[in-house]
Amino acid sequence: EAEVAQSPRYKITEKSQAVAFWCDPISGHATLYWYRQILGQGPELLVQFQDESVVDDSQLPKDRFSAERLKGVDSTLKIQPAELGDSAMYLCASSLEAFNSPLHFGNGTRLTVT
Amino acid sequence: QKEVEQNSGPLSVPEGAIASLNCTYSDRVSQSFFWYRQYSGKSPELIMSIYSNGDKEDGRFTAQLNKASQYVSLLIRDSQPSDSATYLCAVKVRSGSRLTFGEGTQLTVNP
């Protein structure tokens, strides 16, 4: 079964450093999502792409976070500079374009900022 | 008011019992509803989706939707210890919109 690939699996960084996460969605999935999940809470959408275009980044802290999906396939999420409060699981998901298509999640990147 | 609210946990049931998980949503025009299961340290995995009022059954799982009451639930029959996880309710308002998750309900099934 096709999977959403994410790397790295774990990342430890010091505050004020830059960090980047990578995601490769399931082939053919036009919609790609980045979610952040703080321990004990539900996932919160950071950014949603339709092909290479951003369709929702209303909850992305744009002063420090950036995301791109240049060719409409894989995507990178960057944080610069990282803050202690950024420690969380960063989940990438993808779906077909159809309205009722469910999201398929990758294994996530566990970020710890020290 | 939160967009998606789930009944507070944790919820503990004995093995073989029925576990009932509840979710309410604020946007009356929401159209798609999903239940995800998340094991500790893992990513969410889809269990059920439901789009029309009524019940939808899949094995031991039954999703129930009542759009008039803005309420969606998940029943797990014959609960097993392997069902112990956090269950996330997720709601989508319309095509192209975000999928919004609730905070999750932690379920423990005791042998």
User: What digits encode the pLDDT tens for the residues A33-91?
Assistant: 999 999 999 999 999 999 999 999 999 999 999 999 988 899 999 999 999 999 999 99
Measured CA to CA, the distance from residue A110 to residue A78 in angstroms comes to 14
Per-residue model confidence (pLDDT) at position A100: 78
B94 touches chain A (CB under 8 A): yes
What tokens appear for A89 in the block?
């699981």
Interface contact flag, B101 A44, Cβ < 8 Å: yes
* Per-residue DSSP letter, A50: E
Average confidence score pLDDT of chain B: 94
Contacts of A105 in chain B (CB under 8 A): 43-45
DSSP symbol at A74: -
Residue of A nearest to B44 (CA): A105
% of chain B with per-residue pLDDT over 90: 85
Cα-to-chain-centroid distance, residue A99: 20
How many helices (H) and strands (E) would you count in chain B?
A: 0, 11
